[in-house]
Amino acid sequence: MFSRLVQTSSRQREIAEVVLRNGWDYMRQLLTGGKADEPRLPTPAVLRNILVELGPVYVKLGQLLSTRPDLLRPEYIETLGTLQAEVPPVPWEDVEVVIRQQLHQPLAEAFSEINPIPVAAGSIAQTHKAVLRDGRRVALKVQRPGLEQVIDQDISLIRLIANLVSQTEFGQYYDVVSLAEEFAQALRNELNFMQEAEYTDQLRRNLSTSRWFDAQKLVVPEIYWDLTTEKLLVMEWLDGVPLLLGNFQGIGYGGDVAAEKREISTVLLRAFFQQICLDGFFHADPHPGNLFYLTDGRVALLDCGMAGRLDPRSQQIILELVLAIVNLDAQRCTQLTLQLAPPAQPINRIQLEREFDRLLRQYYSMTIAQVNFSKLVYEVLQVARNNKVRIPGNLGLCAKAIANLEGIARALDPEFNIPNKIRPMMTEVFQRQLVGEAPVAALLRTALDVKNLSLQSPRQIEMLLDRVTSETLQWNFTIRELDPLRRTVDSSANRLSFSIVIGSLIMGAAIISSTAQNSQVFWVSDVLFAAASLVGLWLLVSIWRSGRLR
């Protein structure tokens, strides 16, 4: 089916040519209709080249994969994290058509000025600077024309590849069909600027006030909802440059540039700590190109189209897991990993703990300042993945965000260290979780629960004793994996019984054949031999079909 589609689709033929030209043997086998063996990825550099040659959609897919250290090894994450689509800007005439189609009013009534030269061009959209009729400067993010058709074709191909790979053990364990749907949905969300606008607005509200950092030093652009559509995003214009290219002047720090950089790195860490551990909603791609240093000394958080969410239980487990990693506690890492990601199949808990211990032991002799925290988190995820523990995708997004953040912070402040920075905040968070925002109210609720328990306990104890003395108490036990074991034992017993019956038939036929004196009885031995042959053949076929012949 796949080979026929490649022959009939120019886009798929183009993809096949790129893959074959780069020598990816596994994909060559799939494209020619071969059997789907266990997936074998090319080297990181080759995979990066393939994605770049395939175009903007696959570059975006590579960028999404770079946020999943739970699926790929660190060398792939690092290589794919540098992917950028090298695409020329769309001519202004085509961009203007898209803007006019998206606006509900004439262009001149909405904007007094639009710069036809883009300030940035990406795989999904390009950005132009404009001025509203009331004088406010804005950024127009305009979707590239004709992108939906290309993405539809590529998503169909991704799904087809996922269906083929799903025939393998790897594909079934990682549920690659669901992963393909997840990536397809992420790509479609990239095309819907209303989704990005909602994410941006929520981050702006969450970070507008904070007890963890000076909210005046971090800004998220305001969205102009009356002009924003699915293909046109209109937001506040912020003057600045990428953070690591900023011309720091030590504004507000007496000209001390080093102090300003230390403060910026601390603000970023505290802001993301709040997003992940308190808000449960975080910017999932804070790479250097999405953090700007503004002319007034503030830091802007841009491009909020990729975001992650965490439920309260996951937040608490992640917080404790980070603390366990900081304290190099292998046993606690094992417990929390299994709580966060219950294994899809039984695992060797002792082996998992032993591998965590072996990993963390490498850091025992290091000082806190020497520990690369993001690398350590990646290695913890790698150990979990090697032991068949399926890590939730949002934890991969967290790890990627932490890695980007630590890289930026260390570039600003070489002495920056995440464990030293987050320990005080983690202590305060644990205290708040223990007593709550209103300690008096929490104490009163606890007292009420104790009162209810004291009133109900005598009656419940009386019922228990009554059942024990009247012999009506029943215990229900459920033992995991017992039912598959029972079926296996039953199947083995049945096969053994059939084998005994076959042997008996053969022996009976042999006895009758050797002792028979006339042909009137001799046919009985033939019948017994035929029955034994049929039953034996059926037994061999059933064992062969079960896959347990060896």
DSSP H or E segment with residue 38: none
Grouping H, G, I as helix, E, B as strand and the rest as coil, residue 480 is coil
127 token code pair: 């950005």
Backbone angles phi, psi at 327, to 5 degrees: -85, 0
- Which residue's structure tokens are 């250290």? 69
HSE-up (13 A, CA, CB side) for residue 276:
28
Of 227, 6, 215, nearest in space to 133 by CA = 227
Cα 319 from Cα 501, distance rounded (Å): 62
Q: Judging by beta carbons within 10 Å of its beta carbon (0-12, 13-18, 19+), is residue 506 exposed, middle or buried?
A: middle
The verdict on whether 357 is a catalytic residue reads no
Q: Which of 417, 418, 375 is nearest to 400 (CA)?
A: 375
Choice among 70, 154, 201, 285 that is catalytic: 285
Q: How many CA atoms lie within 13 A of 375 on its CB side?
A: 10
- Name the one residue in this structure whose structure tokens are 């999932």: 284
Burial code (b: 16+ CB inside 10 Å, e: under 16) for 213-225 equals beeebbbbbbbbe
Q: How many CA atoms lie within 13 A of 99 on its CB side?
A: 27
For the four alpha carbons of 510, 514, 515 and 518, in that order, the dihedral sign comes to positive
Q: Concatenated DSSP letters for 54-85? A: H-HHHHHHHHHHTT-TTTS-HHHHHHHTT---
Asked if 203 contacts 73 with a C-beta cutoff of 8 angstroms, the reply is no
Cite the active site residues. Answer: 285
